[in-house]
């Protein structure tokens, strides 16, 4: 029977989903099974840092099993930016890694015009966009399906559609960008492994680009993406719910409360950036984790095993601060893991404990 494992961020991202996906891939390989990472929603706004055998890589388009040689399948609800995917492929190749991937013929394609529109949209900017064109692409397709890129059509038809998209945004056409896009689209078509059949893999590890509170339907508006994380309601699956030992936030909206006790890691993959601004951290907000669980009705999924992943346990100081039932609580640091596990509104089959960022998980 095929195993389905979903890796979910419990808040706004940055919870260690990439590291968890790689761990599950390695676990499957050690058990003699064939894992496949499925990018089942969202797009190249992912920033999942993984490390293996002396190589560090930030996965945006590819699944986080790529350094282990685990293939990536990009499903129909996910989005592809051909230029971004080609660029990441070349980065991996220069590190000696040759990614194996296949994309669903019906997945949505981000064009350069979507990216430009995203970066010029004041509403998107004020809501904390990543600047990757995800929102604009989905909005464009929701308004007019004739603006969908015909992946396997000839170049003439693709250029014709690009012209319609530039008109949709009221932009002048950019020949250089369009040529780069068409070249990148041809590249990923050529390099896609058409013999890859998801049905031939024992373990499907489902990887999203975002946390639950950014979900297009059940996140905390207006600081969301249009992508939907939990529309699957898959029975007989496992869910790995990830959190750090403190709250993180990119972009506008919720601002974490500062803590005097957090011991920040010497390595932090998340950086301030042009579109989302400052990377913010603070006291772990367990109320927000429980709010995400409630909004997504996770406890209504039948026959599902829940597992908790607590990353960055080495960042716990002498005392541990957390928010629960509207109040800030302070307890000795050694009590942190027990508090996190017991106060989240789910019953967990197992708890994985990880340090930051290069460490093995300990199973509790």
Centroid of chain to Cα 77: 13
Active site residues: 14, 48
Q: Are 326 and 283 in contact (CB under 8 A)?
A: no
Helix (H) or strand (E) holding 113: helix 112-120
CA angle 352, 353, 354 (to 5 degrees): 120
- 165-171's contacts with Cβ under 8 Å and 24+ in sequence apart are 165/111, 165/113, 165/114, 165/140, 166/113, 168/113, 168/140, 168/143, 168/144, 169/113, 169/116, 169/117, 169/136, 171/113, 171/116, 171/117
| Whole-angstrom distance, CA of residue 72 vs CA of residue 100 | 6
Query: CB burial class (10 A; 0-12, 13-18, 19+) of residue 291?
Result: middle
Which residue is listed with tokens 């789910």?
Answer: 346
| Whole-angstrom distance, CA of residue 329 vs CA of residue 63 | 37
| Whole-angstrom distance, CA of residue 276 vs CA of residue 11 | 16
- Gyration radius (Cα) of the chain, Å: 20
| Whole-angstrom distance, CA of residue 332 vs CA of residue 190 | 56
Nearest Cα residue to 282 out of 325, 328, 340, 334 = 328
Query: CB burial class (10 A; 0-12, 13-18, 19+) of residue 355?
Result: middle
């Amino acid at each position: 029977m095929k195993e389905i494992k979903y890796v979910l961020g419990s808040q706004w991202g940055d919870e260690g989903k990439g590291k968890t996906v790689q761990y599950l891939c390695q676990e499957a390989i050690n058990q003699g099974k064939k894992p496949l990472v499925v990018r089942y929603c969202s797009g190249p706004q992912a920033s999942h840092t993984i490390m293996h055998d002396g190589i560090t890589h930030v996965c945006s388009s590819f699944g986080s099993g790529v350094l282990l040689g685990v293939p990536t399948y990009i499903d129909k609800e996910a989005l592809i930016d051909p230029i971004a995917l080609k660029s990441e492929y070349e980065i991996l190749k220069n590190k000696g890694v040759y990614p194996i991937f296949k994309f669903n013929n019906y997945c949505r394609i981000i064009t350069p015009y979507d990216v430009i529109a995203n970066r010029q949209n004041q509403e998107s900017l004020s809501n904390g966009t990543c600047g990757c064109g995800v929102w604009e692409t989905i909005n464009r397709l929701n308004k007019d399906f004739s603006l969908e890129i015909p992946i396997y059509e000839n170049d003439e038809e693709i250029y014709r559609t690009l012209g319609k998209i530039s008109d949709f945004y009221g932009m002048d056409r950019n020949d250089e960008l369009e040529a780069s896009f068409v070249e990148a689209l041809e590249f990923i078509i050529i390099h896609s492994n058409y013999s890859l059949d998801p049905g031939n893999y024992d373990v499907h590890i489902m990887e999203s680009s975002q946390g639950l509170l950014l979900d297009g339907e059940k996140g905390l508006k207006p600081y969301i993406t249009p992508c939907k994380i939990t529309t699957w309601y898959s029975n007989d699956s496992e869910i790995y719910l990830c959190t750090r030992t403190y709250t993180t936030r990119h972009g506008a909206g919720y601002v974490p409360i500062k803590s005097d006790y957090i011991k920040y890691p010497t390595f932090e993959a998340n950086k301030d950036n042009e579109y989302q601004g400052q990377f913010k951290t603070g006291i772990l907000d367990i109320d927000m984790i429980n709010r995400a669980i409630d909004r997504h009705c996770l406890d209504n999924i039948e026959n599902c095993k829940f597992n908790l992943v607590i990353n960055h346990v080495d960042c716990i100081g002498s005392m541990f601060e957390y928010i629960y039932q509207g109040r800030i609580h302070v307890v000795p640091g050694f009590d942190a893991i027990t508090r996190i596990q017991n106060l989240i509104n789910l019953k967990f089959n197992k708890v994985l404990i990880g340090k930051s960022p290069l460490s093995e998980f300990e199973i509790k």
